[in-house]
Amino acid sequence: MDNRRKLSRPAQIIRYLETRLSASNEALALHFGVGPKTITNDIRDLNRLMSASGTIEMESGRYRLFISDPESFNQVRNTICERIDSFNLATNRYGYIFRRLIGQAAPTLIDDLVEEMSIGRSTVVADLSRLKKELSPYALRITGIPNVGIELVGDELQIRLFVLENMFEAVYSDYPLDDDFVEIIEDAAEEYHLDAVTTESFTRWFTVMIDRVLTDHALVGMPGKYLSLKNTSAFGLADTVINAIGRRIQISIPAEESIFLALPIVGMRTPSHELGREQFPASSENTELVQKILDEIKSEMDLHVPADALLKEFVYHITFMQNRMRYRVYVKGLSLHDIESEYPVAFRMAEVAKRVIERETELTVIEDELGFIASYFQVFLEEQHAQSEPSYRVAIVSTSGLVSARLIQTQLQKVMSGRTEYQILTLNDADAATLDRFDLVVTTAWSELVTTTSIIELSEFFDNREFLRKLNQLRYDKQVDIPIAAGAHSLLVSILDRSRFFILSPDKTYLENTLVMVDQLSEQGAIDSGFKQRLLVREAKSTMVLDEGVAFPHLANALGSKVVFAMGVVPRPPGNSGVRVIFLMGLPDKSDYDDTMLVKIYDEIIRLAGNRSEIDQISRITSYKDFFFHMARTPLPSYNPEELR
């Protein structure tokens, strides 16, 4: 093995896809020890380099390599796969140094490392200094005596965990795993219904284990917390593999290695196959834990998540997550910053779940695990939205034939919600009884149409801005609720009544201004008599200020069956601290409304709160009409979590 040189990751991806035929982004990220976005960027760069000779495309969730010009592809491939001097990269130097340290029975001289890597002594010393810092959390040390050499000191289990979490590619990317070993692993994976990602992870752990055993570094004893794994299905799988390997190579492998090899199984992601979940049952205690999480979300956010909608799979996730935290098995996830930015409501739900889990289990939820929890909640929110969003029927009445009508429909589809249904009618078919069955009529027929349905008249050749302008004017003039594609309009505008837009005093506190709004709503007969007192009690328990610029007080309203929504702006001078916008909401009984609206409201308010310049502009608006058209003209801002910190 040439320790000084290795293929670049893009070259390894090419080879991987040539031999495996296809692979998911997740599997590649796990195999190479990087994030999914890094793999996406590598694939993009490879496609650019291959140009017309070949392409890597995503099919059914898996990357596949297609070669259109074999001769040109081979030339490009050879260029990509040229071996590079890995010691120009600091990470490769760390990997080489660490591999030398864990593979030597005697101390290693720094001068030997300098000669082997053909780099300066000061570079090696600096690399060792950084490596020492990275080893510290694992209670591993690099010690040495001048002219004698340096050596790695620490627990064998921690050495392995450090490799798996930080340096697997640098140490084992070229490790020659025997075909017989691979066959044994694949047989066990099939028997226990492991998916490809878990099998890949298990193989990495096996590679580390077999190398350390064969080089006289077998585990001797395991911390007490790991011994309980002997009673699990994961241990049964690992022990089956260990025994088969022992028989194949005629050696006795210590029982501790079966415990070690059980770790990637007890800490895997939730099995995707039902038969796989049956092999590794979830803890019944976690059913109660999940219910506590859902209760806390309901209490803090007024979001009702039905247990049956999320319970079964989420209980499995919580079970495996606790194993990962308890036994220190880390699984890379999506960027937490990306999740927080893209799914702010799900992220806040996950933060609530994190607090409950840490309180109930005394385990620490790390960032990657927080991201996984948020992903589960986002899937639930998306599914609930898809199930609850009603269809919206639009009639297109054209005098210029079917082609023109379809062109209009194509343009409308860019603006309207995806669940909008369209029907094209001729002028003769557009009688009052027919048109009254639709929610909206869009027409190029400038003659009068008789219908109680709202009408928008357009020219045959229009742009989306013209349509949106007329749509927003219709929504403002007649308070018509029209479902528009995400990002094309503000839900806050749709649910805000003109009489519930308030200009508040910058001389009052947040709570004083909120009570002014409550008193106004009470005078309008919109909220029950106990609303004010309940708000004060809840505010004393936990403030509903999202950040210094935005507050979102909301609680149950016993009066009426619809959401009561009000908005107050506080025109503070630039640079002055204090809440600038207050969104106040009274929620009806849970049986009378759909939580998906509250989720959408949460999402829009959190995104606004993350955009301070937008909040400053809104706080200076002086009328409902100005607010309406400001939001109609302004795209929904992307969420910037850094501005909330």
Supply 281's token pair: 């049952």
Looking at the structure of the chain, the number of domains it has is 6
Residue 608 lies in a domain: yes
**Residue 512 pLDDT > 60, yes or no?**
yes
393: Cβ–Cβ under 8 A, 6 or more apart, which residues? 420, 421, 422, 423, 437, 438, 439, 440
pLDDT band (50, 70, 90) for residue 382: confident
pLDDT band (50, 70, 90) for residue 644: very low
Domain boundary among 56, 82, 108: 82
Same domain, 500 and 572: yes
Supply 457's token pair: 């008249």
Q: How many whole angstroms separate alpha carbon 397 and alpha carbon 429?
A: 9
| CATH code for the domain in which residue 122 is found | 1.10.10.10
The pLDDT assigned to 5 comes to 42
Percent of the chain with pLDDT over 90: 35
Q: What is the mean pLDDT of residues 127-142?
A: 93
| Most confident region among 357-371, 387-401, 470-484 by mean pLDDT | 357-371
pLDDT band (50, 70, 90) for residue 58: confident
Q: How many whole angstroms separate alpha carbon 136 and alpha carbon 154?
A: 10
Residue 546 lies in a domain: yes
311: Cβ–Cβ under 8 A, 6 or more apart, which residues? 287, 290, 291
| CATH code for the domain in which residue 568 is found | 3.40.930.10
**Which pTM value belongs to this model?**
0.63
Same domain, 109 and 70: no
The pLDDT assigned to 504 comes to 95
The pLDDT assigned to 176 comes to 83
Domain boundary among 58, 82, 106: 82
Same domain, 565 and 444: no
Alpha carbon separation from 40 to 28, 36, 81, 513, 632 (Å, rounded)? 10, 6, 19, 49, 35
Same domain, 107 and 49: no
The pLDDT assigned to 510 comes to 94
Residue 329 burial (C-beta neighbours within 10 Å; 0-12, 13-18, 19+): buried
**Residue 531 pLDDT > 90, yes or no?**
yes
Domain that holds residue 586: 492-644
pLDDT band (50, 70, 90) for residue 153: very high
Residue 487 lies in a domain: no
More confident residue, 212 or 604: 212
Same domain, 299 and 166: no
Residue 604 lies in a domain: yes
Same domain, 498 and 583: yes
pLDDT band (50, 70, 90) for residue 645: very low
pLDDT band (50, 70, 90) for residue 560: confident
**pLDDT, averaged across the chain:** 83
Q: What is the mean pLDDT of residues 387-398?
A: 77
Same domain, 122 and 183: no
| CATH code for the domain in which residue 424 is found | 3.40.50.2300
Q: How many whole angstroms separate alpha carbon 313 and alpha carbon 272?
A: 10
More confident residue, 637 or 275: 275
Q: What is the mean pLDDT of residues 390-402?
A: 80
Residue 333 lies in a domain: yes
Same domain, 526 and 630: yes
| CA-based nearest residue to 367, from 395, 419, 332 | 332
Q: What is the mean pLDDT of residues 160-183?
A: 88
Q: What is the mean pLDDT of residues 565-591?
A: 87
More confident residue, 418 or 603: 603
87: Cβ–Cβ under 8 A, 6 or more apart, which residues? 4, 93, 96, 117, 118, 119
Same domain, 367 and 433: no
**Residue 182 pLDDT > 90, yes or no?**
yes
Same domain, 542 and 595: yes
Q: How many whole angstroms separate alpha carbon 10 and alpha carbon 80?
A: 7
Same domain, 382 and 366: yes
Tens digit of each residue's pLDDT (9 = 90 or more) over 252-293: 999 999 999 999 999 998 887 788 888 888 877 888 899 899
Q: How many CB atoms lie within 10 A of CB 585?
A: 19
Least confident piece of the model among 294-308, 340-354, 622-636: 622-636
Q: What is the mean pLDDT of residues 3-24?
A: 71
Q: What is the mean pLDDT of residues 43-50?
A: 85
Domain boundary among 156, 172, 188: 172
Residue 66 lies in a domain: yes
Tens digit of each residue's pLDDT (9 = 90 or more) over 457-487: 877 666 666 676 677 666 655 555 566 554 4
**Residue 641 pLDDT > 50, yes or no?**
no
| CATH code for the domain in which residue 263 is found | 1.10.1790
Q: What is the mean pLDDT of residues 12-28?
A: 80
Q: How many whole angstroms separate alpha carbon 551 and alpha carbon 530?
A: 21
Same domain, 337 and 325: yes
The pLDDT assigned to 185 comes to 96
| CA-based nearest residue to 550, from 598, 485, 475, 615 | 615
